[in-house]
């Protein structure tokens, strides 16, 4: 086997492993990343309510995004549903309507993903911060 063939095989195996994690029944790594992002930004309010951001962005590497789009995957809905269940289990209150946006990004290295959260623009970020005091 030539060096080029060995490299090609290694890349193909890595791609298949990543694809299995992302495109499986429920993309476990992405779900865990969303849950951690939600938990990390939870704010305890005076009334004992725990508020969490309501807007989540999931950036996927171009190749992964293309594969999901070609297969007609509903990964965005699966991620939203999972995050909603997570919030219910922990008694979290959203800072507004929940939205998980899945998009492609050329900036995500090595076929991975990036998860960020924020409070949607129609909800005051300062009010969200004050709620935790």
Each of the 133 residues of the chain gets a pLDDT tens digit; together they read: 577 666 666 655 565 555 555 555 446 777 888 999 999 999 998 778 899 999 999 998 887 788 777 766 677 888 888 999 999 999 999 988 899 999 988 888 766 788 999 987 665 556 555 555 5
Question: Which helix (DSSP H) or strand (DSSP E) does residue 109 occupy?
Answer: none
pTM for this one?
0.69
Rg (CA), the chain: 18
Question: What span, in angstroms and rounded, lies between the C-alpha atoms of 37 and 4?
Answer: 40
Question: What span, in angstroms and rounded, lies between the C-alpha atoms of 77 and 73?
Answer: 9
* C-beta of residue 64 within 8 angstroms of C-beta of residue 113: yes
Give the Å distances, CA to CA, from 60 to 66, 75, 99. 9, 11, 16
């Amino acid at each position: 086997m030539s060096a080029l063939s060995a490299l090609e095989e290694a890349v193909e195996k890595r791609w298949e492993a990543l694809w299995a994690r992302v495109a499986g029944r429920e993309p476990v790594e992405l779900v865990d990343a969303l849950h951690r992002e939600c938990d990390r930004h939870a704010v305890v309010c005076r009334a004992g309510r725990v508020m969490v951001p309501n807007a989540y962005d999931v950036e996927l590497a171009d190749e992964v995004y293309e594969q999901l789009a070609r297969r007609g995957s509903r990964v965005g809905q699966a991620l939203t549903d999972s995050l909603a269940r997570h919030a219910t289990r922990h008694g979290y209150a959203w800072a507004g309507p929940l939205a998980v946006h899945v998009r492609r990004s050329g900036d995500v290295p090595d076929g991975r993903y990036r998860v960020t959260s924020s409070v949607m623009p129609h909800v005051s970020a300062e009010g969200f911060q004050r709620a935790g005091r």
